[in-house]
Amino acid sequence: MGRPPQHDIDSLLDTAARLVIDAGPRSVTMSAVARAAGAPSGSVYHRFPSRPALLAALWLRALDRFHAGFLHTFGDEPPLDIARAAARQVVAWCRANPHDAAILLYNAADFEEAEWPAQAREHLRRGNRSVARAIRDLAAGMGCDSAADQELVRIAVVDVPYSVVRRYYRSGKRIPRYAEDLAEESAVALLRDRNGRLT
């Protein structure tokens, strides 16, 4: 049985993630990843045919990991309980996965989304549609189908928790466990008793 490759896809993406954390997405070049990983440039090009492909893989790996946990919270519980769990999950996941979270605090455009391979752009669209569908279903479960109500649910269970996370990242502080409580309480405050409908 042969040895696993020393510079596999995940190890190279881990190196790229550290570059993002240190100096932002623009610091991620093929040569910079090879140099930081102690790998031949050919090893990077063998796994990622271009810089846009590397950036896409880095972003999508983080996004897929986030979506796996986030969408798992959308079960059969009462809608407000789902919203509580989803808001908590955003913060809990970011605390447990700081490197991936640091990537997702940027936008896909910061990772040059427009230059990604077509398959990667479609992957991103599918992931975003899954979250949009889950949020739409959650709003519908609360008896609210308008675009404004769907937007409110997104703000409550995604945008506000991310703003909590972003504040800690920007200040260089670790995310405390009570931040999950704050995200949950904020979601409930936004969603409960909205004109007597979101309950």
Please provide the DSSP assignment of 86-149 as one string: HHHHHHHHHHH-HHHHHHHTS-GGGGTGGGS-HHHHHHHHHHHHHHHHHHHHHHHHTT--SHHH
pLDDT tens profile 30-81: 999 999 999 998 889 999 999 999 999 999 999 999 999 999 999 989 999 9
Question: Which residues touch 137 (CB under 8 Å, ≥6 apart)?
Answer: 74
Lowest mean pLDDT among 30-34, 66-70, 135-139, 190-194: 190-194
Global pTM reads 0.89
Structure tokens at 70: 């986030």
- Crossing angle, helix 51-72 and helix 30-37, to 10 degrees? 70
